[in-house]
Each structure stands twice: as structure tokens, then as C-alpha cells.
Amino acid sequence: MKILQISFHTAPFGSAGKYDSGGLNIYVEKISDQLSKNNFVTVVTAEKAESFVKGNLEFKSLNLFGKDLSVEDKEIHMQEFTNKLYESIDLESFDVVHTHYWLSGLVGKEIANKFNKPLVYTSHSLGIFLDGYNKERVDCEKIIMTSSDVITTSSLFEEEMILKNYNADSNKMKQITPGVDLEIFTPDSTIKRENIFLSIGRIQEQKRQIETIKFLDNFRKVENNFVCYFVGGPSGKSGSEYLEELKQTVVDLNLESHIEFLDNLPQTEIRDLLNKSKLLIHTSKFETFGLVAAEANAMGVPVLTTNSGSVLEIVESNENGYYSESLIDGNVNNFVKELLNNNDKFHEIMLNCLDKSKAYSWANTAKELENLYKAFA
């Protein structure tokens, strides 16, 4: 079977040290690697990156723009991207088209219609949850979902939100849980845990890193021995402005000795940080799954979250993390303080995390997708 994966606005296969740790990139890379063991897979992007062929897997960049452009600025290249796909790839030869994110969905819709191919759509995020309602995007998402043969979701929460807000056909919905690369995310028990917290994700308002900073400012009143690393680069112009706002807040609150901002890191370096850490803080407004939470659990790291959606399908309070609508809460402080100071308690929760993570496998994810493709191809 020949499978076309479209990731218009971002390149899944990043170069070493420049890896975009976003869940979409990881998802497309991992499923494509797995699917290529038994199928021919082509991944296409408009973002500048190094194209390659590895066995049955082809990654092709049309080199239309760099990472520094905002998503909004990338939109103007969509028709150019589609035209170049017609020129450079034998699109009719594919058995199925799988699109990732709404911009890719619009491109895939045109291609699938033209060549009468089944269209699979995975949103990875939804316009209804963004700060500042974008009617144009939501309307486009509705069109894509109506046009798609299958809409895959990563969580029950995402499926419910699509059915509620997009009037999607429930018969088109298929929940397929993402995996965790246990060849990377396996803890080294010889490394000592330190009082390190992590916040991992693109710097943008939707991720609400400001809430993490507010929590740290409050938490230091009960425990001062900790450091928190923010891992991830800014997303577009608004992300750069938000990063400056975050840095200024750290200065204003005199938190410089407790907080350090890092850029995007390769997964191996993220793993090494997780291996030394005792807590992942996850304050994103919305996630279709929350891959970083599953990866943290695979490293034995509990997750503190305010996300009341899909992440709660991963995190259970006092088992493998803690959930609270607000992090400015005495119970939250008590939970985190005990993680830092009670080794037996941390070890108990660490074992729960490791046990929970066994449910996530990219091989299983790819197998479910392959069966789905075959049903339509």
C-alpha cells in the first residue's frame, strides 16, 4: 500500500538540535517510521528541511518557507504548495491520503477529490479552543471533517468536542491513541533525581506557561529548593512576544534563580532532563492528547496539570500526577512538596507512572492506522 502523509506547515523530521518537540511532528514521524515497515510512505511538507529516502519511507520538503514564519503567514503558500505537489509527485499512485492539521486538511481535500482517494484527517488541535475565536479556521475544519472519509482522534475528549462543536458524523470517528517511543523514553535508574521541574512545549499563549510561573512564585513560599526548565521555542511572532512577556515576569517576580528558558531540544535531550526531574508541569489550555504527559510518565515523572480535557485520560490525581483547576492551591503545594522531600512517596508514584505508560505504543498506533487505511483503500 502507498500512503501519503501531508504535514503542510511543519516538518516532522527535524535536524539534530533543532527538533520541534511539538506533538504533531512526533506523531507523523513515529507513525511513518512504523508504517514504512510494511508499506510505502511519503511524507510531504512545505517547510524548509532536508529531504531523504530511507527504505520504504520518503520525506520530501518543497522548501517554501522556514520555521520562523507564523502559521498565518504560511497560509498564503497553500496553493503554491498544492501546485508543486501536482508537479513533483505522482499523486494518483497513492492508495490513501492522511492529512495532519487543518491547513493540510484543505490541501488533502483537493487532492483526494481530484484523484478519488480516501481522505483521513487528524486535527492535532481545534480552532474552537484557541484564544480569539477564528471563525474562518473553524469553518474550514467543518468542511474538512465533512469531506473526510475518516476523522481520527487521539482521545475521547477530542472526539466529544468534535461531535459537539463541528456536527461531525459519529460514524466517521475513530479513536487511535498515540504512542510513546520506549526505545528513547526509558529511565536510567542509576541517575539520581533532583528537585527539577519541567515545562515542555512551544512557547505560545495557548500553552499558558504564565500559569506555571505563577505557581512557582507561590510554591517557593513553602519550598525554595527547586529549579524549573521551560523547554521549547516560540511559535511565530506572537510566540516570540509571549516569550519576552514570560521572561519579564520572571524578572519582576525575582524568580531568576528558579527558572531557565531553553530552546527546542532533541527527544534524547528531553529524555535526559526528564530522567533527572521529579515533576512535569502541564498548563496548556487544550490538548487533543497531551503526548508530553505520556512521555513524562514513561520516564517515571508525575504530571501536574490544569488541563481538564484529554490529559485527564492520562493523569489520575495522587496516582501518576495531580490535577487541579488552579495551581494556586494548598493541596497542590502539599503534593509537590512531598514529591521533593519524601523519597518513598516519589518512588511509589514513579512506579505508577511507569505502569501507566505501558499502554502507549507507536507500533500499536501504526497498526490501527494501517487497518483503517486498508478498510478504505
Which residues are paired to 203 by β-bridges?
234
Give the pLDDT score at 20: 43
Contact 29, 50 (CB under 8 A): no
Quick: pLDDT tens for 326-370: 999 999 999 999 999 999 999 999 999 999 999 999 999 999 999
Which residues are paired to 158 by β-bridges?
none
Give the pLDDT score at 236: 67
CATH 3.40.50.2000 given to domain 2-179+361-376: yes
Distances (CA, A) of 212 to 83, 124, 285: 43, 23, 12
Task: Spell out, as residue ranges, where the chain has pLDDT lower than 50.
Answer: 15-21
pTM to 2 decimal places:
0.88
Give the pLDDT score at 130: 72
- Give the distance, in angstroms, between the CA of residue 348 and the centroid of all CA atoms in the same chain: 27
Round to whole Å and give the CA distance between 52 and 61.
9
Give the pLDDT score at 308: 66
* 3-state SS string for the chain: CEEEEECCCCCCCCCCCCCCCCHHHHHHHHHHHHHCCCCEEEEEEEECCCCEEECCEEEEEEEEECCCCCHHHHHHHHHHHHHHHHHHCCHHHCCEEEEECHHHHHHHHHHHHHHCCCEEEECCCCHHHCCCCCHHHHHHHHHHHHHCCEEEECCHHHHHHHHHHCCCCHHHEEECCCCCCCCCCCCCCCCCCCCEEEEECCECHHHCHHHHHHHHHHHCCCCCCCEEEEECCECHHHHHHHHHHHHHHHHHCCCCCCEEEECCCCHHHHHHHHHHCCEEEECCCCCCCCHHHHHHHHCCCCEEECCCCHHHHCCCECCCEEECCCCCCHHHHHHHHHHHHCHHHHHHHHHHHHHHHCCCCHHHHHHHHHHHHHHHC
2-179+361-376 against 196-357: fold identical: yes
Round to whole Å and give the CA distance between 144 and 123.
10
Exposed/middle/buried for residue 131 (C-beta within 10 Å: 0-12, 13-18, 19+): exposed
Matching CATH number, 196-357, of 2.120.10.70, 3.30.300.30, 3.30.1330.20, 3.40.50.2000: 3.40.50.2000
Give the pLDDT score at 17: 34
Round to whole Å and give the CA distance between 282 and 198.
9
Give the pLDDT score at 15: 43
Name residues whose C-beta falls within 8 Å of residue 329's C-beta, 6 or more positions apart in sequence. none
Let me know the angle formed at the C-alpha of 197 by 180 and 206, rounded to the nearest 5 degrees: 70
Look-up: residue for cell 505508577?
Answer: 352
What is the average pLDDT value for the chain, to the nearest integer? 92
Ranges of each domain in the chain: 2-179+361-376, 196-357
Distances (CA, A) of 2 to 92, 152, 172, 259: 10, 19, 22, 47
